[in-house]
Chain A
Amino acid sequence: MEMEEKFDAIIVGAGASGLGAAYSLAKSGFNVVVLERGQRIGAKNVYGGRIYSHVFEKEIPGFKEDAPVERWVTGERLTFLDDSSAATLELSSDFSSENSFITTLSKFNEWLGKKVEETGGLVISGIKVDDLIIEGSTVKGIVAGEERLFADVVIDAEGVNPILAKKAGLRGDWNPHEVAVGVKEVIKLPESVIEDRFNLNHGEGAANLFLGYASRYGFGGGFLYTAKDTISIGVVVRVDSAIANRISVYDIVEDFRLHPYISKLIKDGSPIEYSAHLVPEAGIHGVPKLYGNGILLTGDAAGFVLNRGFTVRGVDFAFLSGVIAAETIRKAHEEGDFSASTLSHYEQRLKESVVFRELENFRKVPNLLSNLRFFETYPKLLCEILKDAYTVGEDSKKIYPLLKNKMRDRVSMITLIRDIISVVRNL
């Protein structure tokens, strides 16, 4: 069936990036529709647990009062795990520094969807976009089942598995070292137990990242976020590493949960949810062609995810890339031209934005993270040294001889120093 109505923009995917674009366009009066294949908004979205709030506060009036924030992060911990012990670095800051919060992504996206509808955009779930309508080299619309829908421009916000972007010739498949697989469990515990266990006041939250045992000493790490009355724990492992080490993603989160350090934190909790999802992790190297005639690529589909080894950040970048795509479309609309040359403005604006700045800043991270010492040697070393240092025996121990002894056959002092410098420089 042919549709008579033509939209200003069709957006494929109701994740943070698609909804960011839709919100921004609808706010300026554009006729937009978001199509989401999940039965409801948020149904297919998976992440760790924390969102950086800056972009949202800037774009959405009254964000703090209205958004479904469960806890503002006030405590940050980085924990090195070996098979049975843990060494933790902790930073507690005060409540006023509200710059990231913990929430459920499906609830958050559902809320964003409501915002889009309030501003006059359409968000339709349960519709899978099967194909793009391409005439010559210009994208004219989308195909969903038997139906075709036309628009000046299509925003491809379909997430980490961008089938349409491939069809449009914007990008190819990810290589195994460019994506990670994340597995997550949600564990229910009473609010007060969570606050006691993590030393939190009401409304405060803790973020804990893990290196070492969590990813079975392969490329990746573990995470733990305290939501209101649930705790999310999970593991992210780079796909090439999972394949090489024959890691079963199902076992890995189970093993993580049973680690003595974790099992204490979630004691008496009951698992209520289990999910798995891919994360792009190529950094700036993985950014494909971002635009074509009548099409723009946003969010995970464009690889806008920052993985610093101990934090994964993608939701705010996804949203911001959507907002910048919307800005570009407004400009294109003014000029009455949606060709690649006008849409190239998108890339320019992104390059000036925090998305590219951050990805640039961490340009070396994917390489740095290819260094297995960070995932195996150092977490184990640290745990062992501290364990020995704090074990009181016949004679007291000095750290340096301990360190030297432990490092023998595993890593040279020069390499250690070099690694420390590269971490300080790049993270």
Chain B
Amino acid sequence: MDIIVCVKQSYDVQQIKFDPKTGEPMLAGAPRKMSDMDRRALEEALRIREKVGGVVKTVSIGTPDSRDVVKEIYAMGADEAYILTDLKLEKADPDVTARLLSEMIKKIGNYDLILSGAASTDGYSWQVPAKVAAHLNLPFLPNAISINVNDAVMVDCDLGDAIYDYKAPLPCMVSVSLEINEPRIPTLSAILKASRKPFTEFHIKDFEVDLSPELEVISTAMPKVARKNFIVDASDASKLDEVRKIVDELRKENVI
């Protein structure tokens, strides 16, 4: 079984600081990590390989500072990693991303199954896997919470309203959700072995893909949490009524 997994180096969303004034994320030099659902897709691929044999390859695209993801990919146990990085990809939208990924996959060729996370930890558009499947003309099974393969693929898909059992012929594309598995933590010896393993780099000029995004991001901001900011000067005894009012309010809202 030849499996290709799409793996993104996303921002470590939990570590990102937001400009308290504008609410914009401060991305310059912000820490990165492998996208959570992609990590589970890779884990799933490795488990399938462990069961039925085969080869696990990965494809990644991003800005040059996302190259480190390869080390993690190899430390988890992938066989071959392919990556394309370019500063021009800073503004890549889901469509550009999906077209480049599918071009890379075509170039690598030879696959039975393509896996990816259902959405990336940072962009969270949920669009890339379906678009990749469309570009490659493959059946697409979204949001898998379990995958079984023999001659075909049997997938439990969580589509929100219910869990659907689907079956698709190979080759096909499956996107996985967070619940599918608990990914392995690479051992030190696996990390050491991985650290010098060579990988293949692709370049934008290898492909005829129009990089101009269809989507324009107008702003990215932290959700505003409205607070009531009600302060009572408790040193003044005449204000006690206000305190009582607050207590009543809080009771009403079941806070206390």
Query: What residues of chain A have their CB less than 8 Å away from a CB belonging to chain B?
Result: 1, 3, 5, 33, 35, 40, 43, 107, 122, 124, 127, 144-147, 149, 188, 270-273
Contact = CB atoms under 8 A, between A and B. Distances in A.
Interface in B8-43: 17, 19-21, 26, 29, 31
A270 B21 contact: yes
A3 B19 contact: no
A272 B192 contact: no
A124 B191 contact: yes
Contacts of B31: 40, 43
B212 interface: no
Chain A contact residues, majority secondary structure: strand
Given A122-B195, A144-B188, 14 more contacts: A33-B192, A35-B188, A40-B31, A122-B192, A124-B195, A146-B187, A147-B187, A147-B189, A188-B19, A188-B20, A188-B21, A270-B20, A272-B17, A272-B20
Interface in B187-222: 187-189, 191-192, 195
A147 B188 contact: yes
B19 A127 contact: no
Contacts of A122: 192, 195
A122 B21 CA distance: 40
6 contacts: A3-B192, A107-B29, A122-B192, A122-B195, A270-B19, A272-B20
Contacts of A273: 17
Contacts of B29: 107
Find the residue from A5, A147, A149, A273 having the highest chain B CB count within 10 A: A147
Nearest to A104: B29
Interface in B103-137: none
A271 B17 CA distance: 10
Interface residues of B, number: 13
A149 B21 CA distance: 48
Contacts of B192: 3, 5, 33, 122, 124
A147 B188 CA distance: 7
Those 9 A-B pairs whose CB atoms lie nearest each other, nearest first: A270-B20, A147-B188, A272-B17, A122-B195, A144-B188, A3-B189, A124-B191, A127-B188, A40-B31
Given A40-B31, A107-B29, A127 B191 contact: yes
Contacts of A40: 31
A6 to B, nearest CB: 12
Contacts of A144: 188
A149 B26 CA distance: 38
Contacts of A3: 189, 192
Nearest to B185: A126
A124 B19 contact: no
Most buried by A among B20, B26, B31, B188: B188
Contacts of B21: 188, 270
Contacts of A107: 29
Nearest to B188: A147
A272 B187 CA distance: 34
B65 to A, nearest CB: 10
Contacts of A272: 17, 19-20, 26
A371 B82 CA distance: 63
Contacts of A43: 31
A270 B23 CA distance: 11
A234 B173 CA distance: 53
Contacts of A145: 187-188
A421 B188 CA distance: 56
A51 to B, nearest CB: 17
A127 B21 CA distance: 36
A146 B189 CA distance: 10
Nearest to B71: A124
B187 A1 contact: yes
A43 B15 CA distance: 10
A3 B193 CA distance: 10
A419 B17 CA distance: 46
B21 to A, nearest CB: 6
Contacts of B17: 272-273
A124 B20 contact: no
A150 to B, nearest CB: 12
Contacts of B189: 1, 3, 147
A271 B195 CA distance: 37
A332 B19 CA distance: 51
B236 to A, nearest CB: 23
Contacts of B191: 124, 127
A329 B189 CA distance: 24
Contacts of B26: 272
Nearest to B21: A270
